[in-house]
Chains A and B, each alone.
Chain A
Amino acid sequence: MSNEIDRRKFMRSSAAAGAGLMLANNALGQAGDKKEINVALLGAGTQGQGLMNAILKLGRDSGIKFRAVCDIWEKGNLRRVSRTLTAYKRYGHKGTAYVDYQEMLDKEKDLDAVLVATPDFWHAEHTIACFDKGLHVYCEKEMSNSIEAAKNMVLAGRKAGKLLQIGHQRRSNPRYIYCNDKVINEANLLNRITNISGQWHRSREACVDLKWPNGTEIPKETLKKFGFDNMSQFRNWRWYKGLGGGPIVDLGSHQIDVYSWFLDNAVPSSVMASGGVDYWKDHEWYDNAIAIFEFPTKKGLVRATYETLTTNSSNGYYELFMGDEGTLLISESAGRGELYRESWVEETKWDPWVQKGVVTLEKASVKAEAKAGDDEVDVRESATPALYRMPIEMKVPYHQPHLVNFFESIRGNQTLNCPGEIGYETAVMVLKVNEAIAAGRKIELKPEDFKV
């Protein structure tokens, strides 16, 4: 109980420190470049709304102003988001609504940046059109459903001299940054990382095909013009070839991106994978996939597995980094983070990091005890490893830090945490998983395969 109170007190003071940091950042932003950033939202679905809400919660003095929103679902998401932005009129936001992105880019003359949150197969065309207008782009992952198109996005951004941030938001999440900077790099508590595993298990309930309210249908011609066969395919694009990439791309991408990041942005030398359309009817992409990557790193080879399911939610989603001295479990899911010391490693080795406050010891190692009547301890049964925690919380809405990083980079105060080049490496890694499944064999990868 009193431990709990101490922890909360600690959290409160670290949260307060975090708030101070935010203020400093804002002040910096104003000092560096007073210019307000005018943005438009292109693609106002679930994720587009998430991005919008995270920006609205920056408050009225953020200097970020929505000017317009574009979405082809006029009676659905477009209406909903346009209404929300209008409700925020007092913050200086405007919700001018467009169905056609080209019309929006032509008519909205004072835009600085566009947030692209359309289905994957639109990202390249939308992003490149924005660069052609001289705008910065925050583009959702997956960067593209095609490696070639993803490459073109990076090239177009370079040519325009504009920023491209890819929406792998964990790269700006303070909890993830802490794990990478402090736990892995500074304290080196895992020591030599040899293996990684990770998963996103989603329940059947969460994967049922989406529908739409009667009367909100998009006219047939419009659907066709924008590349969709019918409403059901439009709502469930992630399952279709040519539109999305299935769960390995939808979910796995975030986590495989972290694998590479925590290995100092290493890229794999091979991938093998298995998967199939085993459960869901009428879906084109694999509804479950298991992949194995080999990452050559300066410290040696790291073998990594990844698994995504759409029928079962056991243990949710997380990434697990295994070193010869410790284990780190991290998840974007609020508050899920654990660190274990291998029981043979002396407690004194980690103590200095506890003293410095880098990690906190939650449960000491418990030695295996002799069973009653036994006079020998079974040496094969190792002691339970000690549990440590990272004293850091994510205290702002999801996606907000990544968006702030984008805006502050536009203002010249920060550099992008996930520029197009990094997004490209991740796109190659996950798109190759689908390729490996289709080919039914191990695919070798060269460092050049990840270069634009």
Chain B
Amino acid sequence: MPLKPQGEQVVDFKAASIADAHHFAHEAMATVFELYIVEEDESYARGGAQAAFAEVDRLEMEMSRFIENSDIARLNSALPGEVVEVGMEVFDCLGRAVEIFEQTGGAFDISVGALYECWLNEDKTVRRPSADEVASARELTGMNHLKLDTESFGVEVLTEGLQLDLGGIGKGFAAEKVAGILREWSLNQALVLAGASSVLSVSVPNGMSGWPIRLSNPSKPSEVLARFELTKGALSGSGRQKGQHIIDPREAEAGPVEGRLAAWSMAPDAVAADALSTAFMLLDPQEIDDYCLANPQTAAIILPHAVSGESQRPEVLRFGQWHQIDTQNDKLKSTTKP
């Protein structure tokens, strides 16, 4: 999934401010998972972190499309008519992906890879595909090509060649599983970071009002766009690097565009937050506003394309409950409801 930044910080947690939280990190899913846990017994906290990271590794083996016998790889090479039995977790995750696909009118789409492959060269420069190429890529895009059998854990690919990629939702899914394990270990005062793009609060440590979070401009990390405290639920960010293109699967013919610089989403769970930050890169402001109204616990901030010649301060649009949040940032020029 080209939208999820790997290296740069889109969401940044200010660790220094939680002096007595233990920090654990683990490389998985092409990123680094980090945990901040407030707990007296360091070695107990480490034990919980170890159990949580083992679960992330196990999920990666099922979810990564690069691992030839993962559930997703098996789906990606399945033929129509063949039912692929996936694990319970992958089944759940696919279900959520389909649900968010529908809620966002197809903007979040785990099959969008076909369009990227059609429109971009390997070095990510834009190519000019033939009308046929575009048509066949379109035929491989959309959740209508996937059939989840709700009576089982069987999944069927209805069109040969469908390529699924959980890159835009899997890390959020794993973060939720991590939170579940930390709860089992009674390590509730914890924060989960899935790479630089998602954070999930298990619960806020005693004596703190929330986890201090910073959102910064992905193309200029020193520029902090918002600061606030995460008290519950999850927050995710998506960003576009300079020169990078994005494709709106709803408007495949239009091809790659430079589009928005970044988008952040807040949602009750990390699965939704992760997927929505991708969708919010694409939905227009009215659509985002509608989404946040229909789903009262979600919020969005978008950083539209910078217009050259304008002032240094980027214009930021906020939606949902982010209207109420005091971002304590004098540099932030926020627009009220569009």
Contact = CB atoms under 8 A, between A and B. Distances in A.
A60 B152 contact: yes
Interface in A50-67: 53, 56-60
A211 B186 CA distance: 13
Given A59-B85, A208-B50, A395-B74, A213 B185 contact: yes
Given A208-B46, A213-B48, A398 B85 contact: no
Contacts of A87: 88
Contact of A19 (B46, B82, B85): B82
Contact of A212 (B47, B85, B86): B47
B330 interface: no
Contact of A15 (B67, B77, B184): B77
Contact of A396 (B74, B83, B153): B74
A404 to B, nearest CB: 13
Interface in A314-335: 334-335
Given A208-B46, A210-B50, A90 B151 contact: yes
Contacts of B68: 334-335, 393-395
Given A1-B122, A19-B79, A211 B48 contact: yes
A63 to B, nearest CB: 14
B210 to A, nearest CB: 26
A432 to B, nearest CB: 32
Contacts of A394: 68-69
B212 interface: no
Contacts of A393: 68-69
B47 A59 contact: no
Contacts, number: 70
Interface string A6-31: 00000110011001000000000000
- Residue of A12, A87, A211, A398 most packed against chain B (CB within 10 A): A211
A242 interface: no
Interface in A196-231: 205, 208, 210-215
B186 A215 contact: yes
Contacts of A12: 77
A210 B49 CA distance: 11
Given A58-B85, A211-B44, A334 B151 contact: no
A1 B120 CA distance: 12
B26 A59 contact: no
Interface string B45-68: 011101100000000000000011
Which size bracket describes the interface of A in this complex?
Answer: 20 to 34
Interface string A387-402: 0000001111110000
B154 interface: yes
Interface in A118-134: none
A334 B69 contact: yes
Given A91-B152, A394-B68, A395-B77, A214 B87 contact: no
A393 B73 CA distance: 11
B43 interface: yes
A214 B69 contact: no
B83 A59 contact: yes
A231 to B, nearest CB: 11
Nearest to A175: B68
B95 to A, nearest CB: 14
A38 interface: no
Interface in B179-197: 184-186
A84 interface: yes
Contact of A205 (B26, B67, B74, B153): B26
A184 B221 CA distance: 54
Interface string B85-122: 11110000000000000000000000000000000001
A363 B329 CA distance: 56
Nearest to B44: A211
B43 A211 contact: yes
A213 B52 CA distance: 11
A212, A334, A396: most-surrounded residue (chain B CB, <10 A): A334
A57 B69 contact: no
Nearest to B70: A334
Contacts of A91: 152
A433 to B, nearest CB: 27
Interface string A55-86: 01111100000000000000000000000100
B86 A57 contact: yes
Nearest to B160: A12
A53 B86 CA distance: 9
Interface string B150-187: 01111000000000000000000000000000001110
5 contacts: A84-B88, A393-B68, A393-B69, A395-B69, A397-B69
Interface of B: 26, 43-44, 46-48, 50-51, 67-69, 71, 73-74, 77, 79, 82-83, 85-88, 122, 151-154, 184-186
Given A57-B71, A210-B50, 4 more contacts: A57-B85, A211-B48, A395-B68, A395-B73
